[in-house]
Structure 1
């Protein structure tokens, strides 16, 4: 999949197709429906399928001091978009200049000039332009004058509610990672480089791969059964503590993962930790012996949880996008 950034125009062979446009943070089931509609329209006409997304998220631009809330990094988002069949993705930098464009100026400057679409797909609640002045109806009217058709998809409804990034975040903050995974069609995953920690774990036979959370949403602090995607593409089970480590000072927010049955040096390398099941809340213990005993108990619980997931998956294949 070609990535278009910094205002680069699509080459001629990627113009004249379908474009799905949105923030797409999380690429959840609702986002997938929008992207697949664009891909289906394009494939039926042997035309290119593109996705236009924004970075940073508009909410991050307007409220930089807000609590971190990202469900994916840009790199994760692009890999997920590629897995849905897009031929190219345009990353539109959300800047002060972009925020000041009218709806018409945005369409002419970014869509018509750079992508020349024949068809645009959005969610029904999509808004754009200065002070969110444009919506799906605006897009339809602009399309009439510029020669492109539009499609505004109704929200995907599941369990009596709309599938949304907000709903995914609420599930993660509650520790309900199974619900989040159902809405995302894959486990919520934190990806980043392994950083140096205090190295206490290795002194008690539990070496951990430590990661900072950056812009990711903070799920419920506690201990999780996890799957770890290693740099070589292998997937291993593990148990992870996500939180501020109340036994140690100063507090430091980390995701600390003990990877089962694996040895090696991961410092500086990227791994992806997928939250499979919440096991317990983070808590302060009486000392190192109590910590060692608790880690052993958590490891047993994590192995049991992962075995249950593996057994279920063998009879119920995962969504093809879950490996991303």
Structure 2
């Protein structure tokens, strides 16, 4: 189990002296996993806890609040993924303008030394910290020598086309509905987590009852119909088809909503916090001329989603834990 801890106070004694991977890690994608894997390996070698130091909210939200940011992995989902990778704890440092104004020396002395008591830091080769980004790789290595902790810098991770894997690339792919290529960069199927809430119950009257989930307003996933897998709070997994959008046939002014129809399932899901993993984009939203053609299309969507999901295989151990 990966515990979530605040970054403004000392760690419990049993977690001090650990190896700490440092970064924002939005998406926990394959590039991040290269850094995280080195931290896990170093912790195993030293026989100490493996931890992650991350920052919330995302720095861009602080410095450019006027620009909506599609966060791939909000804190709860990020912690869940890090737990599945094998980390003991994720330390969530509140990122504010006041925190960003601290010097690089303050970051090392107050966060890494006093609060975390690290034995080793692992981060990307371009990690910078402190006011005006004054702390960089060379500074961190010198600080480690001075303070008695090791430092490992990890080069940029490139995909099979020799392109650097980044959160921005993944956001762009998801905004285009390309769940398959996004999964290739993530190393697992893109997954969201939310509470199941009440809806209009129209799907139930049409024979397609849905589990409705409101996602953050900044979620820039392309609107449309997807083949998905739905994991309940108890861990049970269901193949499903989901609609993300504004339901143009029945509600022209509706807020974006994720509506998931679980195959071969009946029951009450209200109030459960569940996960939905996206496997493939089936089609865009269409405004139908009445409910009959809508139901006919929904039946075709179900058949296509069943066929797609019947042939999928895990991309990695993490994907197996998330979506299989």
Provide TM-score, normalisation by structure 1.
Answer: 0.93
Aligned to 1:23: 24
Match of 2:70 in 1: 69
Aligned residues: 318
204-213 or 3-12, larger mean C-alpha shift: 3-12
Residue segments in structure 2 that go unaligned for 5+ positions in a row: none
Q: Are the equivalent residues in 1 in contact too, given 2:156–2:164 (CA < 8 A)?
A: yes
**Aligned partner of 1:277 among 280, 286, 290:** 280
Q: CA deviation at 1:99?
A: 1.2
SS of the counterpart of 2:138?
helix
Partners of 2:86 and 2:209 lie apart in 1 by 39
Which residue number corresponds to residue 306 of structure 1? 309
Residue 320 of structure 1 is matched in structure 2 by: 317
| 1:104-253 alignment, distance < 5 Å | 104-158=105-159, 159-214=161-216, 217-247=219-249, 248-253=251-256
Aligned pairs (5 A) from 1:96-111? 96-111=97-112
8 Å Cα contact 2:246-2:252 kept in structure 1:
no
1:37 to 1:216, Cα distance in 2 relative to 1, 3 A: farther
1:246–1:131 distance in 2 versus 1, CA, 3 Å: farther
Note if contact 1:190-1:216 (Cα within 8 Å) is conserved in structure 2.
no
Superposed CA offset, 1:159-204 (max 9, x none) = 2211111111121112111111121121101110011222111111
In structure 2, how many angstroms separate the alpha carbons of the residues matched to 1:49 and 1:129?
24
Q: Distance in 2 between matches of 1:12 and 1:67?
A: 39
Deviations 1:69-123 (A, max 9, x none): 1111211111211222222221111122211111111111111111122211101
1:295 aligns with 2:267: no
Alpha-carbon offset, residue 306 of structure 1: 0.9
- 5+ long unaligned stretches in structure 1: none
Q: CA offset at residue 23 of structure 1?
A: 0.3
Deviation at 1:4, TM superposition (A): 2.2
State the 1:308 CA deviation.
1.9
Correspondence 1:42-53 to 2 at 5 A: 42-53=43-54
Q: Specify the SS of the correspondent of 1:54.
A: strand
Give the Cα–Cα distance (whole angstroms) in 2 for the partners of residues 259 and 177 of structure 1.
19
What's the CA shift string for 1:195-240, capped at 9, x where partnerless? 1222111111111111111156321111101100012211101111
Contact 1:3 1:91 in 2 (8 A): yes
Counterpart of 1:35? 36
Alpha-carbon RMSD across the aligned residues, in angstroms, is 1.6
TM-score by length of 2: 0.93
